[in-house]
Amino acid sequence: MEKIEHIGIAVQSLNKSIPLFEKLLGTECYKTEEILSEMVNTAFFKTGDSKVELLEGTEENSVISRFIAKKGEGIHHIAFGVENIEEEINRLKLSGFEFINDVPKKGADNKLVCFLHPKTTNGILVELCQEINAEN
């Protein structure tokens, strides 16, 4: 794994949370994006070599909306940037980790993503993400 790519934070409202995080981080939101397949709106902030991603559910039955209903707003996941997501999936499977989705899918911010199951990562939802380029 190369670095912590971003920390995902579940929020009720991007409209309320974006100004709060702009003040907190001292930087502007550089990108918002809707991911229809996940029923989520996202907002990104750069902070050093990493990012913060705010996640707002767009439907009551979305993963983010259910997370907030159960646990409230807060840290949802930590994402690690990888150079080759397929190799990392295979390496981690051989090490005994289980995945929620072990076939990478297109995520926000021009990334291929997959998630490890929290039951094999001490209760932490871990995302692997690889920059999408012309080769993949």
| CA neighbours closer than 13 Å in the CB half-sphere of residue 114 | 19
Q: Are strands 40-47 and 31-35 parallel, antiparallel or unpaired?
A: antiparallel
Residue 136 pLDDT > 60, yes or no?
no
Q: Are 81 and 1 in contact, with CB atoms under 8 Å apart? A: yes
pLDDT in tens, 58-117: 999 999 999 999 999 999 999 999 999 999 999 999 999 999 998 999 999 999 999 999
Q: Tokens 């997959």 map to which residue?
A: 114
Residue type, 27: T
pLDDT in tens, 31-59: 999 999 999 999 999 999 999 999 999 99
Q: Are strands 3-10 and 74-81 parallel, antiparallel or unpaired?
A: antiparallel
| The pLDDT value given to residue 102 | 85
Residue 135 pLDDT > 80, yes or no?
no
